[in-house]
Amino acid sequence: MYSDLKPSFSFLILLFLCLQPLIFSLSTDASPPPTVCIVGSGIGGSSVAHFLRHYFHPSPSQPTPPNIKIFERSYVVGGRMATVSIGGESFEAGASILHPKNYHALNYSNLLGLKVKPPPASEDDDSMSLGIWDGKKFVFKTLQVDSKFPLVQKIVSYVNSFRIFFRYGFSLLKMGSFVESTVDSFLKYYESPERRPIFETVDEMLKWAGLYNLTTQTLQDELIGIKLSPLLIKELVTVITRINYGQSVYISGLAGAVSLAGSGGGLWSVDGGNWQMASGLINSSDVSLHLNEEIESISYLGEYYELNSTKRNSYSCEVAVVATPLDEVNIRFSPAVSIPERKLQHTHATFVRGLLNPFSSNLMKMIQLTKYFLEDQCQMHYWIAFLVQGCRQTE
């Protein structure tokens, strides 16, 4: 009996020794997961982390997802989606509104269970009307009737629409068509990855969507090219660009089109602050977050990138993503990266907390008039004011 077992046992030992190199080879074929370093925790950096997790599919050569590190020089995430707190209330200090066709933002909000902030009570108010002030008098003002009867309000609304059309003609429709066409071009970026090419440069990305030509001339030239009324450009378009970007109609046509798109209806925000989108994406993407750590140099060393921070820490990663404007950081690149010099317009938001004097005789007039203010190139002042009944718009 023992003589029968010995060959079997010897055979197993021999089989194991023969298969050992193969077993070792199979166990070491899978390369270690790459490390991805992302500089910036705004909506760009957080989106990169989210999509890296979303599009990762295990394979025999790469069974484990990448390690993701995010570096943020501030003490909070969110980047330009920032809020300030005054008197127990939070106010958006950066990206304050979102377009209804910003599908990524909508998907993020649904994925993270964020609550959409309802529009102001005045947005659906039929008593809202439009007035344009030149610094001395109203050059245009729609009718406003204090009536609770829906029929009367509807008639006044039709009359106001007719008066606005009489003033600007078909230019309002042309402007709407221009904005809609630009938004539709942006929507091409939502196509599936199989139908969307990989872009090497920003110019390629813009040309593919049909947006590049908007960057080659000013918004004013674009609007004149589509036969928009000079009066509409002066009284309304200039107001919108000043409010949104603090600039005139001489900005880039692409930036101007985005500004006009941000003046339409259906705009929304996240209750509690839009920064929650970036925070939620980071929390759900299993990343290593480094707050208060600024990256000061990025060097490509052939097989990997080396990142050095102001805290004298050094990090190695196979992929490095800079998700922050290069104009506003002092990162040293090796090899050097050519950054075209640009003239940027910085917009400053000032928040003032105070109490209104209810006994002021001009209080109601100011409540009715002062919502938006601008100064055009001729140094004339225009106010586009939403006249709302009551004191609801004191904030």
The DSSP 8-state label assigned to residue 1 in this structure reads -
**pLDDT (0 to 100) of residue 373:** 38
Is residue 295 within 8 A of residue 308, CB to CB? The reply is yes
3-state secondary structure of 300: strand
Q: What ranges do the domains of the chain cover?
A: 34-115+272-352, 120-149+354-395, 169-265
pLDDT in tens, 27-36: 445 678 999 9
- What is the C-alpha separation between 43 and 274, in angstroms, rounded? 10
pLDDT in tens, 190-244: 988 788 898 988 899 999 999 999 999 999 999 999 999 999 999 889 988 888 8
**pLDDT (0 to 100) of residue 365:** 53
First to last CA, the chain: 97
3-state secondary structure of 296: strand
Token pair listed for 140: 């245009």
Block mean pLDDT (10 aa), the chain, length 395: 44 40 46 92 96 88 90 93 82 85 93 84 54 78 81 86 89 93 93 86 93 95 94 90 86 93 86 93 96 96 95 96 89 89 75 68 51 35 32 30
- Give the pairing type, strands 116-117 and 83-86: unpaired
Helices 253-261, 238-245: crossing angle, 10 deg rounding: 90
Q: Residue 41 — left, alpha, or beta (φ > 0 → left; ψ -120 to 50 → alpha)?
A: alpha
Give the distance, in angstroms, between the CA of residue 353 and the centroid of all CA atoms in the same chain.
Answer: 27
**pLDDT (0 to 100) of residue 217:** 94
Token pair listed for 11: 């055979």
Is residue 79 within 8 A of residue 325, CB to CB? The reply is no
Phi, psi of 358 (to 5 degrees): -70, -10
**pLDDT (0 to 100) of residue 344:** 74
SS (H, E, C) 353-370: CCCCCCCCCCHHHHHHHC
**pLDDT (0 to 100) of residue 128:** 55
The DSSP 8-state label assigned to residue 95 in this structure reads S
Token pair listed for 248: 């005139």
Helices 103-112, 275-283: crossing angle, 10 deg rounding: 60
Q: Does domain 34-115+272-352 have CATH number 3.40.50.300?
A: no
Q: What are the CA-CA distances from residue 241 to residues 59, 202, 212 (Å)?
A: 49, 24, 20
Q: What are the CA-CA distances from residue 119 to residues 97, 98, 142, 155, 198 (Å)?
A: 11, 12, 23, 25, 38
Listed in order, strand segments (DSSP E) in the chain are 35-39, 67-72, 83-86, 89-92, 116-117, 130-133, 138-141, 269-270, 288-291, 295-300, 305-309, 314-317, 319-322, 332-334, 374-375, 381-386
**pLDDT (0 to 100) of residue 380:** 34
The DSSP 8-state label assigned to residue 376 in this structure reads -
Name the helix (H) or strand (E) containing 186: helix 171-186
Is residue 271 within 8 A of residue 52, CB to CB? The reply is no
Beta bridge partners of 117: 269
pTM of the predicted structure, to 2 decimals: 0.77
**pLDDT (0 to 100) of residue 80:** 87
- What is the C-alpha separation between 303 and 318, in angstroms, rounded? 7
Listed in order, strand segments (DSSP E) in 80-194 are 83-86, 89-92, 116-117, 130-133, 138-141
3-state secondary structure of 255: helix
- What is the C-alpha separation between 273 and 270, in angstroms, rounded? 5
What sign does the CA torsion over 123, 231, 168, 258 have?
negative
Is residue 349 within 8 A of residue 93, CB to CB? The reply is yes
**pLDDT (0 to 100) of residue 274:** 93
**Tokens 């330009």 -> residue:** 80
